[in-house]
Amino acid sequence: MGVFADIEKRDHEQVVFCSDKESGLRAIISIHDTTLGPSLGGCRMWNYASEEEALRDVLRLSRGMTYKASIAGLNLGGGKAVIIGNSKTDKNELLFRSYGRFIEGLGGRYITAEDVGTSVKDMEWVRMETKYVTGIAQAHGGSGDPSPVTGLGVFTGMKACAKRVYGSDSLSGKQVSVQGLGHVGHNLVERLVKDGAEVYVTDIDDEKISAVVDEFGVEAVSTEEIYGLDVDIFSPCALGAIINDDTIPQLKCDIVAGGANNQLEDESKHGHVLKDNGILYAPDYAINAGGLINVSNELEGYNRERALRQAEGIYDILMDIFDRAEQEDIPTHYASNRVAEDRINNIGRIKNIYVGHQTTVNLDNRR
């Protein structure tokens, strides 16, 4: 499939390819939909195997951000960026300032933030070149690392899933497997342990596994074992497309609820398979919306309590999605898409209303 065909397939508005020889920057910025407002989404730095893989990833991720912003009730559109490179060896000030110049050139159509492979420090370099950046340090008026709020949202959403399946939202005594121990996974494990859950963990980084096991006393398993564990809840918190033809037959859980984006390799197929297998799926962009909620609060002046309260609202968002899925007898991700699309379409119609010259009538002086 050609580049334009791939873009048109998912109804993207704009894709920007960024290249700077001096800094070594190779990046792609994808703006999916700005009906609800300017697009906002993180910048992922990853050592992609090919440019085509990077393009596919950014297109999927930006589309997911459109739905995430809509389902969370935010006046934002969906966007995302990827920088091709090794986040452990290729980072420098020049790279991110160059990236910031490309962001500035979009004039506010895309607002960037940190993501996998990028950090608050990286966003501060970006901020030297553009104001269209969130997720910066609190010392500069930002909110800092959004991961704890993402973790809170995933934890809260997991409790909603438990309420739906088991009749109680307590996770005490529940067996939960967590795949991926980045900032979000680490925060989620901490919350699960405090709530009394029995937790199993894995990651491709042995150092992260050791740190979490030492800190929380959870049990580590291999990356291959994680899918076949006999647990109540499987929580994917790494990269996407891990719910697929190979992994679904291994699952022995009642619930899939995690912080990773684009968990279903094939949306048209694998959501149906989970439903047919009696596994409740928490749509990824709904349950992991806490990070977006957090950084979006920076646009109006950051208020931590407000951000946390909004993230806790993911509980009710998921319950509404589950209700619609049951009423229409459809997979939960289809129900979630319909809720998000309804809001986008309704707001889009309102924005088509022409606001021209108006006559103001003073009701107190009417005769």
Residues marked as catalytic: 80
How far is Cα 258 from Cα 192, in angstroms, rounded to an integer? 12
**95: amino acid identity, one letter:** L
3-state secondary structure of 200: strand
* Contact (Cβ atoms closer than 8 angstroms) between residue 219 and residue 243: no
Tally the C-alpha atoms within 13 A of residue 83's C-alpha that lie toward its C-beta. Answer: 33
**Beta-carbon contacts of residue 154 (< 8 Å; ≥ 6 apart):** 184, 188, 235, 237, 257, 258, 259, 287, 288, 290
Name the residue among 318, 262, 312 with its Cα closest to residue 286: 318
How far is Cα 167 from Cα 249, in angstroms, rounded to an integer? 26
* Cα radius of gyration rounded to whole Å, the chain: 21
Tally the C-alpha atoms within 13 A of residue 238's C-alpha that lie toward its C-beta. Answer: 17
What phi-psi label fits residue 329: left (phi over 0), alpha (psi between -120 and 50 degrees) or beta? left
How far is Cα 156 from Cα 182, in angstroms, rounded to an integer? 18
Sheet with 219-220: strands ordered across: 219-220, 198-202, 175-179, 233-236, 255-256, 280-281
